[in-house]
Amino acid sequence: MNNDVLDKIFLKKLTILYVEDEETTAELTAQALSCHCTTLITARNGAEGVEKYTAHLPDIVITDIAMPVMDGLTMAADIRALDRSVPIIVLTAFESTDYLKRMIDIGIDRYIAKPVIPGQLLSSLLFCTHRIRLERQLEMSERQLRSITDSTTDAIIMIDTTGLITFWNPSATTILGYTLQESLGKNIHELLAPPRYHADHTAAFEQFQLTGHGNAINRTVELNAIRKDGQEIVVELSLSAHQQGQEWHAIGILRDITARKQMEQENRKRSEEQRVILGNAGIGISLVQNRTVKWVNTTFCEIFGYSAGEMTDASPE
């Protein structure tokens, strides 16, 4: 479906506030508007319009200018003070420079001269509807992205072309200790990198600023980082670059692997200890895999009169 069809479907879901004091004009225009939207709210002057806007928070406001109690432009200014984004369409027979200047100052979205032609009114409605539809799609995408970044257990960090942090998810706080307020706008290398690596990071970042490339870009690397409490941890960092205009920005997904690295080191230590114990055992011991000798201890060599090198990778037969 093209945009016009999508906008007409979306318009049906919206609420419109229509403010007009002249009874015949109000009735005819309301009938035309009812064909395009499901919910139409009407008011007879600007003061009533502000009250109904506050009560119902409509998606689009359509108003006449000259009305008793409060004129349409004063009402529009009051609504703008409450919501800078709601689309406002003005219908009027006046074309004076003063009115036009006030409409520009207030931020009126569309202006239609009376008598209103139904096609012009629909065109203005679809113009406003298209903007609302795109804004809500963007809001939904942002909420979905925020839900993903907030729920992941990995830290997600974004930096701009100068190395300043522009995004910091809750897991970044959990892993690194800094709150969002403490991290935004800070230089990532000065905040997180151990001082002994600062010079290397600075040199590498200069290349990234120019080209978007670097040794860590599009790779997963292991690095050391400093938490807020001063503890140095080992992290696994997946780094990618994206270009905004002429500037290169970076997105990093970071995982604390300190416990895993400590476990790996402990396993290596245990393995080495076991190798030493078995290697010096008073009985001959060999390890055979797939009918091939993989390892023998000293006593085994002494018993059979071969060196470890001669036996390794040989058949036990």
Q: Point out the least confidently predicted range of 6-20, 49-63, 109-123, 158-172.
A: 109-123
* 21 within some domain: yes
82 within domain boundaries: yes
In this structure, are 221 and 303 located in the same domain?
no
Q: Would you say residue 49 lies in a domain?
A: yes
Say yes or no: 163 and 108 in one domain.
no
Residues 138 and 247 in one domain: no
Give the pLDDT score at 317. Answer: 63
Burial of 58 (0-12, 13-18, 19+ CB in 10 A): buried
Name residue 145's amino acid.
Answer: L
Name the band, by pLDDT with cuts 50, 70 and 90, for residue 282: confident
Segments forming the whole domain that contains residue 142: 3-146
CB 278 within 8 A of CB 297: yes
pLDDT for 270: 84
Assigned domain for 58 exists = yes
Choose the final residue of a domain: 146, 180, 201: 146
Residue 14 placed within a domain: yes
What's the CATH number where 99 sits?
3.40.50.2300
Q: Are residues 109 and 33 in the same domain?
A: yes
Query: Are the C-beta atoms of residues 110 and 86 closer than 8 Å to each other?
Result: no
> Is the predicted pLDDT of residue 316 greater than 70, yes or no?
no
Has residue 1 got a pLDDT over 70? no
Task: With cut-offs at 50, 70 and 90, classify the pLDDT of residue 214.
Answer: confident
Q: How confident is the model at residue 166 (pLDDT cuts 50, 70, 90)?
A: very high
Same domain for 280 and 250: no
Q: Is the pLDDT of residue 175 over 70?
A: yes
Domain check: are 124 and 185 in the same one?
A: no
CATH code for the domain in which residue 227 is found: 3.30.450.20
pLDDT tens readout for residues 50-105: 999 999 999 999 999 999 999 999 999 999 999 999 999 999 877 777 888 888 89
> Is 262 part of a structural domain of the chain?
no
**DSSP-assigned beta bridge partners for residue 15:** 39
**3-state SS record for the chain:** CCHHHHHHHHHCCCEEEEECCCHHHHHHHHHHHHCCCCEEEEECCHHHHHHHHHHHCCCEEEEECCCCCCCHHHHHHHHHHHCCCCCEEEEECCCCHHHHHHHHHHCCCEEEECCCCHHHHHHHHHHHHHHHHHHHHHHHHHHHHHHHHHHCCCEEEEECCCCEEEEECHHHHHHHCCCHHHHCCCEHHHHHCCHHHHHHHHHHHHHHHHHCCCCCECEEEEEEEECCCCCEEEEEEEEEEEEECCEEEEEEEEEECHHHHHHHHHHHHHHHHHHHHHHCCCCCCEEEECCEEEEECHHHHHHHCCCHHHHCCCCCC
One domain for residues 227 and 189: yes
Number of structural domains (the chain) is: 3
Q: What are phi and psi of 69, to 5 degrees?
A: 70, -60
Please, which residues bridge with residue 244 across strands? Answer: 247
Q: Give CA–CA dist 154/256, Å, rounded.
A: 8
The answer to whether residues 156 and 141 belong to one domain is no
Q: Does one domain contain both 45 and 164?
A: no
| Mean pLDDT value across the chain | 90
Residue 303 scores a pLDDT above 80: yes
Residues 187 and 233 in one domain: yes
Same-domain check for residues 86 and 136 = yes
Same structural domain, 70 and 132: yes
